[in-house]
Structure 1
């Protein structure tokens, strides 16, 4: 790799010139599809680019150039609209290749992983299977899971507990696939996988659950992005779980294990599971992180979420200035120039909001422009008009929050017609209050889980649970306030179990029962953290899962 980076500077000018010529020929061919000589000239230039990259040993860049060459060779003269996807992918790939080589030349380091999106876009356009994220990653896969304490009961794949755990994984997976609070969904999946790992213990089949739990832990701790490849990976893991439960001689596919291990090393998590797996498989840190890769992808291909967040910040600054202007108007100290400036800012912001998809917010400001025009023309400033303008500004402020992609608040639910901004803003404020209650409830559930863990580790020291029933009853009250009676009943059942079976009795519940109690609290935590209180239609079966765990504790709850 060092040789390739060093040699690039020697051939740089000629290589870039050849890439430019290939791009130009390809662009001309896209406009003149019957001119086969243009396509042939592009192919010849691409052959020279591929050969040069092979000579200087830039493996990733050579692979992309090879894919481009294969696709270009496959396109016939006179290609019709059915080839537009391939031609677009070719143009994009050449742009990415040039930008990548510029980055390599500037930073003196090759990162072939940056080229995988462009390579896979080409392969998809040519109806070829895509390459996995771990394509450039190497690891030995013959290390076994370390021995651990056997479970209290023999593993039974048909047991109610195992079915409940797989159900838990599937609910979390569904939330992850929909990107409905990915972190909460991943935690639910991790909980299920870790529990399956402990039940399988020294069973050879447990090796997959052990590595998968480490990968999920890494995905959470490293805040890895919910890429399509990872959604496919964790969906495949669910299918493999089904096979694992059906066959006592199950052996996990090696390419699946490699993909999971790649996530572990990419995140560089300090979690207990990920750390153990890294040590046993001798995984060395990568020279990049997932977020650095994403930033580099965006430099290669264009703007992304970071741009939207910057835009959101800029709009909020403008809104702050608008509110200052409204304050001056109310005091009667605004000048004619100030009103003209206000009109200009409102018009500019209305257009900007429309461009970023917040058309309702843009229309709200647009509707106020004639009013401000009247003020400029010496019309009296009516208090009612000023109040409506203030309502519009507050409404826009609440809508702009959606540019930061808060998973628990969907701005579309409060889109308003011009004139209804006050009602919409009030609804937004109510949602904000509900979120505060949810955050308090999540804190209570987290406290309960930590206390149960401390209770277990201290061999039944009841002081660890002293405040838990009171805390859970407070959570229960918050859920009644949020009009969530079923969730409130389930939280109350957990509080009753802790009070009666853990505080008022001398005998400590079995570890399995404590794990089941933690499963119930985890499901309720997911229900809250996953946004189900604000959008209950997104998680219809989460409370069913919590109810299953509560019933497994021996408590009676309504279906």
Structure 2
């Protein structure tokens, strides 16, 4: 059978010529919008392109061409400014279609998934719902799940609500993108626990597949696209219905989208591996990062350009620091002073262009000061120090730009002349982060020890250092002023000491799971940085930990 990629070569020249004519007609219509013949020529050419793609069975390209034709047909002669967005979307879609067909012709391989952003841009312009990421993916959704152990406890309403709240807290971190890994771990644990608590209820299937999808998003390092945030948000809404109705049946479309994430991720996690075997999921011929590269190639420059630009800025900053060093040591040539002024002005303009206004203003404020410097009028040490502070501040801002974190730079904004204070505050924050990282590492160690204790049927040797480690974490949190988190961790340490190490009987599996819930919530709180930001929405995760500690039978202050 001749594939679409192979048969494209047979019609390539005529197809590309028709596309070029249609694109030119559309461009001329954009300039002369009262010329209906230009619009008609463009639509007829686009319809011919669509028919050709249908004939050679290039499914993704045909679908994009179909959306182009539909939107182009809806544009009236004499369209005003209200249609500018539609015309821009058409032009962009034609460009993407051409780039895609060129790639297919060169590689003889189809990858229709890379066209979904362009297709959805057209559907958005036409006020149609976007197509899901899994549109070109297929899987049997009625496969039976493997045998499993009986649920550890009945579906108590209090447990279910607490676990859904745990999922919501993790989801908030995922949506905000300020604590992706910890948030996804919290989501995975909450869904896995819900799956066990719900037992044989039909809705547990959603939790089972959802947990594998969240694990795949984490372990496979999938990109946090907006569509995936919406997918996991939709899952939360379905959880609400699942909890309310014992007869709840999960929507097949949602299960398919979740399974697509499992198939896409190159994850060896236990849940993902179980899912691949149960649903016989074959590896996809592409990865998430390959798709992203193709999106960028089709659409034009993206984050790679910003990284290259930030690298060039850092090189200029390094040159600026070298010049300052020469001036401070009195070894600078006369022309170094004028060069310094010119370089500062150039950098300030560049920083303003990429949106780092605070950094640009910082350098602008130094320009009149530096303009007075010369070989004969050497700068005062204090003036040199102020410029050095400004350069350090700018350097930290550029580092954020290179990591793609421009949305967070507002936290570091400083007024001109106060760069030293801003830099010092930044260093203090970094020190606090180190303490929190050590605390999170202590909690992770405790969780691993408890897992080993459970797997060894209660071998207490695994817990020997856990109370000591947790009390060290507790002390670090007291140092940071996090009294409530410190109290909760201390309560967990007490439970491990008294009910696990000193008790002759091993706690029930349900109680160990509840202890793990508490430690997972606390770990998320520390890794998320809520302890530094005093973020009330994120700090609510402490309420989850407190609920779990109370379920262990320990007193906790409200």
Q: TM-score category by the smaller chain?
A: over 0.9
Q: Quote the Cα distance in structure 2 between the aligned partners of 1:333 and 1:255.
A: 70
Q: Give 1:133's aligned residue.
A: 133
1:325 CA drift (Å)? 2.2
Measured after TM superposition, the shift of residue 408 of structure 1 is: 12
- 8 Å CA contact 1:353–1:362 kept in 2: the answer is yes
1:544 is matched with 543
Aligned to 2:495: 497
Describe the shift of the 1:270–1:48 C-alpha distance in structure 2 as closer, same or farther (beyond 3 A): same
Distance apart, 1:406 and its partner CA: 7.7
1:287 Cα deviation from its structure 2 partner:
1.1
When normalised by structure 1's length, the TM-score is: 0.96
Q: Which residue of 1 aligns with 2:68?
A: 68
C-alpha contact (below 8 Å) 1:211/1:277 kept by paired residues: yes
Structure 1 runs of 4+ aligned residues shifted over 6 Å read 406-409
2:352 to 354, 357, 371: 354
* Matched-pair contact (CA < 8 Å) for 1:205–1:244: yes
SS at match of 2:103: helix
Aligned partner (choices 504, 516, 519) of residue 518 of structure 1: 516
- Residue 2 of structure 1 and its aligned partner are, at CA, apart by 5.8
Greater shift in the superposed pair: 65-74 or 403-412: 403-412
Q: Is 1:139–1:258's contact at 8 Å kept on the other side of the alignment? A: yes
Pairwise CA RMSD of aligned residues? 1.8
Where in structure 2 are the equivalents of 1:92-111 lying within 5 Å? 92-111=92-111
Shift of 1:515: 0.9
Report Cα offsets for 1:75-118 as digits up to 9, x if no partner: 11112233222222111111110111122122221100011111
8 Å CA contact 2:525–2:539 kept in 1: the answer is: no
**Residues 19-51 of structure 1: CA distance to partner in whole angstroms, max 9, x if unpaired?**
122122112212222111111010011011112
The one of 327, 330, 345 aligned to 1:329: 327
Q: 5+ unaligned residues in a row in structure 2: which ranges?
A: none
Query: Contact conserved, 1:148 with 1:201, CA < 8 A, in 2?
Result: no
Q: Provide, for residues 448-496 of structure 1, a one-character-per-residue CA deviation record: whole Å limited to 9, x for no partner.
A: 1111111111111111111111111111122122221111111111111
Q: What displacement does 1:308 show? A: 2.4
- Which residue does 1:179 correspond to in 2? 177
Output the CA distance in 1 between the equivalents of 2:504 and 2:347.
66
1:72 and 1:407, CA in 2 relative to 1: closer, same or farther beyond 3 A?
Answer: closer
Deviates more, 1:336-345 or 1:475-484: 336-345
Question: How many Å apart are 1:347 and its aligned residue?
Answer: 1.9
Give the 5 Å matches for 1:158-173.
Answer: 158=157, 160-173=158-171
Q: In structure 2, do the counterparts of structure 1 residues 290 and 392 end up closer, same or farther at CA, with 3 Å as the change threshold?
A: same
Matched, 1:3 2:13: no
Q: Say which SS state the counterpart of residue 134 (structure 1) adopts.
A: helix
Corresponding pairs, count: 557
- Picking from 281, 302, 327, the partner of 2:279 is 281
The SS at the match of 1:148 is coil
5 Å-filtered alignment, 1:246-395, equals 246-376=244-374, 378-395=376-393
Match of 2:555 in 1: 556
Q: Are 1:113 and 1:136, in contact at CA under 8 Å, matched by a contact in 2? A: yes
* Alpha-carbon distance between aligned partners in 2 of 1:408 and 1:214, rounded to the nearest angstrom: 32
Deviates more, 1:35-44 or 1:328-337: 328-337
1: CA distance, partners of 2:540 / 2:546: 10
Shift of 1:256: 0.9
Moved more, 85-94 or 115-124: 85-94
Quote the offset at 1:361 in angstroms: 0.9
* TM-score (structure 2 length as normaliser): 0.96
1:84 is matched with 84
Q: 1:540 to 1:152 in 2, by over 3 A?
A: closer
Q: Distance in 2 between matches of 1:506 and 1:372?
A: 75
Find the counterpart in structure 1 of residue 24 from structure 2. Answer: 24
CA distance in 2, matches of 1:406, 1:434: 23
Q: Aligned partners of 1:114, 1:87: CA distance in 2, in Å?
A: 21
How does 1:371-520 map onto structure 2 within 5 Å?
A: 371-376=369-374, 378-405=376-403, 410-520=408-518
Q: 1:406 to 1:101 in 2, by over 3 A?
A: closer
How far apart in 2 are the matches of 1:182 and 1:81?
A: 40
Change beyond 3 A, Cα 1:557–1:2: farther
Alpha-carbon distance, 1:404 to partner: 4.2
Residues 145, 210 of structure 1: 8 Å contact kept: no
SS at match of 1:135: helix
Using the alignment, how far apart are the partners of 2:166 and 2:490 within structure 1? 21
Shift, 1:407, TM fit: 7.1
Cα pair distance change 1:466/1:406, threshold 3 Å: farther
The corresponding residue for 1:190 is 188
How many angstroms apart in 1 are the aligned matches of 2:404 and 2:124? 32
For 2:367 and 2:317, how far apart are their aligned partners in 1?
15
> 2: distance between equivalents of 1:135 and 1:521?
38
1:409 Cα deviation after fit: 9.9
The answer to whether the Cα contact below 8 Å between 1:407 and 1:531 also exists between their aligned partners in 2 is no
CA contact (8 A) 2:359 2:394 kept: yes
User: 1:239 — aligned with what?
Assistant: 237
Query: Which residue does 2:118 correspond to in 1?
Result: 118
In the alignment, the residues of structure 2 paired with residue 155 and residue 358 of structure 1 have an alpha-carbon distance, to the nearest angstrom, of 52
Q: 1:120 Cα shift?
A: 0.9
